[in-house]
Structure 1
Amino acid sequence: MTHRPGAGLALARAVTATGLAGLCVHGTVRRRAVTAAALALCPGSGQALRYAVMALVSRPRPPRAD
């Protein structure tokens, strides 16, 4: 991978690390699109749920120690 420029190397590592390499090769176009959408929506929905719970609980912060 030394023949690739820095940005290409970073992209190749990211694709490999996230498991998107299999997405690029296997399945139909529709299946790849559904998988890509699920990969994009899953972390986002998790963060939305996290912030919703934080807003519902909304514990007061402890007083600052000076």
Structure 2
Amino acid sequence: MGTGIEQSITKNLSFKTEYLYYDLRHDKLNVAVIPGSGGAGTGYDSKFKNDGQMLRVGLNWKFD
């Protein structure tokens, strides 16, 4: 999801800005045995947050 604008400065030059938000969902990994425990561990959970925001700005040149 995002938004952006582009504004012409001259005939061949324009300025742009974009805002992007991404969400790749959250993952949970359950590891049943702790390595090196000889199988006696109860394990642990790992969570991964896969989202973020991005802001881009730039200049565009149009060739005739």
- Identify, as 1 or 2, the structure richer in strand: 2
TM-score (norm 1): 0.23
- Identify, as 1 or 2, the structure richer in helix: 1
Tell which has more relative contact order, 1 or 2 (C-alpha 8 A, sep 6+): 2
- Which has the larger Rg? 2
TM-score (norm 2): 0.23
